[in-house]
């Protein structure tokens, strides 16, 4: 099914990771061979990544740690916490974004460590695939609880530290935040919410010097769909009685391990840019190929066309082109 082929819909050209955050090491003067006086090392910038046990979050945590950030890596399972803790520059933190007590405990750990917090990456996410007219209230709540309420809760909790550091908040959206696909309505709704959340949060935090971005990946390797399948199997899910039985069965038979997709390294690079650039972008669409770019850009442009047509305050083609030229010139 084509809709499934663009599941979790959704290059980065030459981004360099400006401003590596590590401490400069004292060196030896190249001319005199004399040991330079040790300068006060710049403190490592700390970043919290939620959902760091696998996929995009895991890759991002590893990339940031390698670049010299101190990474608080949020995870839920003991084995993941241990694995993450073993990485240099990483401290694992037990963090389920739907559990306020765990968010409070994570805040305490970060606050007491005295490093402050420069960056928050709201990455934890799940996907629920189900027809909108059949999905249970429980599944609806689950999807929104993790993907929408999660970033809201964690950002709210850590806002004092982020304001203090004039830091960055970055949320993992998706190209499903720009378009939607049949049976993926709930997921697309959650990622559309992340888009609005980012726009409003950016306005609200700008006066405090905190910059806000959303990274919108296309399809990359991760365990998001195998986790979905495991949840379905655990509760004995059956497609029987569904009006969409054929499509759902096709979906469940399709390749859910996402092994056909690229590793999410370029997604991690977008987070690096959003954390280190003097002028981070508000939106980072990161897709693995032209086809996913086309689907997304066309979906965004389609909305403009639909909004504009057959209403009293419509714009002409020339006026639209002029508007577009202005936006292309300023990037906004």
Ligand X SMILES: NC(=O)c1ccc[n+]([C@@H]2O[C@H](COP(=O)([O-])OP(=O)(O)OC[C@H]3O[C@@H](n4cnc5c(N)ncnc54)[C@H](OP(=O)(O)O)[C@@H]3O)[C@@H](O)[C@H]2O)c1
Q: Which residues are catalytic?
A: 187
Name which position in 4, 6, 49, 56 contacts ligand X (CB under 6 A).
56
Q: How far apart are CA 30 and CA 229, in angstroms?
A: 59
**CA–CA distance from 13 to each of 29, 40, 177, 234, 269 (Å)?**
36, 35, 22, 42, 10
Name which position in 4, 10, 159, 285 contacts ligand X (CB under 6 A).
10
Please report whether residue 105 would count as binding ligand X according to CB under 6 A.
no
- Choices 30-38, 90-98, 246-254, 322-330; region in contact with ligand X by CB under 6 A: 90-98
Structure tokens belonging to residue 210: 């905190």
Count of residues that bind ligand X according to CB under 6 A = 30
267, 217 contact by CB (below 8 A)? yes
- Choices 83-91, 160-168, 217-225, 289-297; region in contact with ligand X by CB under 6 A: 217-225
Q: Considering beta carbons, is residue 117 or 322 the nearer one to ligand X? A: 117
**CA–CA distance from 118 to each of 12, 168, 317 (Å)?**
24, 6, 44
User: How would you classify the pairing of strands 283-286 and 90-94?
Assistant: unpaired
Please report whether residue 76 would count as binding ligand X according to CB under 6 A.
yes
Binding residues for ligand X restricted to 226-245, rule: CB under 6 A: 227
- Choices 17-25, 41-49, 89-97, 103-111; region in contact with ligand X by CB under 6 A: 89-97
Picking from 31, 102, 20, 55, the residue whose alpha carbon sits closest to that of residue 267 is 55
Q: How many CB atoms lie within 10 A of CB 180?
A: 17
Q: How far apart are CA 134 and CA 240, in angstroms?
A: 12
Binding residues for ligand X restricted to 123-182, rule: CB under 6 A: 123-126, 146, 172, 174
- Choices 130-138, 203-211, 212-220, 231-239; region in contact with ligand X by CB under 6 A: 212-220
Please report whether residue 57 would count as binding ligand X according to CB under 6 A.
yes
Residue with tokens 């888009």, as numbered in its chain: 195
Q: Considering beta carbons, is residue 24 or 101 the nearer one to ligand X? A: 101
Binding site for ligand X (CB under 6 A): 8, 10, 50-57, 76-77, 95-98, 123-126, 146, 172, 174, 217, 219-220, 222-224, 227
């Amino acid at each position: 099914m084509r809709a499934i082929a663009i599941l979790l819909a959704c290059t980065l050209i030459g981004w360099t990771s400006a401003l590596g955050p590590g401490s400069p090491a004292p060196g030896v003067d190249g001319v005199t061979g004399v040991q330079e006086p040790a300068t006060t090392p710049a403190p490592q910038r700390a970043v919290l990544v939620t959902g760091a046990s696998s996929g995009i979050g895991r890759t991002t945590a590893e990339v940031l740690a390698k670049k010299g950030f101190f990474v608080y890596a949020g995870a839920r399972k003991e084995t993941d916490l241990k694995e993450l803790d073993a990485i240099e520059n990483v401290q694992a933190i037990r963090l389920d974004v739907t559990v306020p007590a765990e968010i409070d405990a994570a805040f305490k750990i970060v606050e007491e460590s005295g490093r402050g917090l420069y960056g928050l990456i709201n990455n934890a996410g799940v996907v629920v695939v189900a027809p909108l007219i059949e999905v249970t209230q429980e599944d609806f709540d689950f999807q929104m609880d993790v993907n929408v309420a999660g970033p809201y809760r964690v950002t709210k909790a850590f806002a004092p530290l982020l304001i203090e550091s004039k830091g960055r908040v970055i949320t993992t959206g998706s190209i499903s935040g720009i378009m939607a696909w049949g049976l993926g309505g709930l997921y697309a709704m959650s990622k559309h919410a992340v888009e609005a959340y980012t726009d409003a949060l950016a306005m609200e935090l700008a006066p405090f010097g905190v910059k806000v971005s959303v990274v919108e990946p296309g399809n990359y390797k991760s365990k998001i769909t195998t986790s979905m399948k495991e949840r379905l199997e655990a509760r004995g899910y059956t497609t029987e009685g569904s009006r969409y039985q054929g499509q759902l069965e096709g979906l469940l038979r399709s390749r859910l391990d996402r092994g056909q997709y690229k590793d999410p390294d370029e997604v991690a690079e977008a987070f690096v840019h959003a954390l280190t650039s003097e002028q981070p972008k508000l939106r980072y669409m990161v897709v693995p190929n032209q086809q996913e770019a086309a689907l997304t850009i066309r979906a965004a442009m389609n909305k403009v066309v639909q909004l504009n047509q057959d209403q009293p305050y419509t714009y002409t083609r020339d006026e639209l082109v002029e508007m577009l030229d202005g936006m292309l010139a300023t990037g906004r």
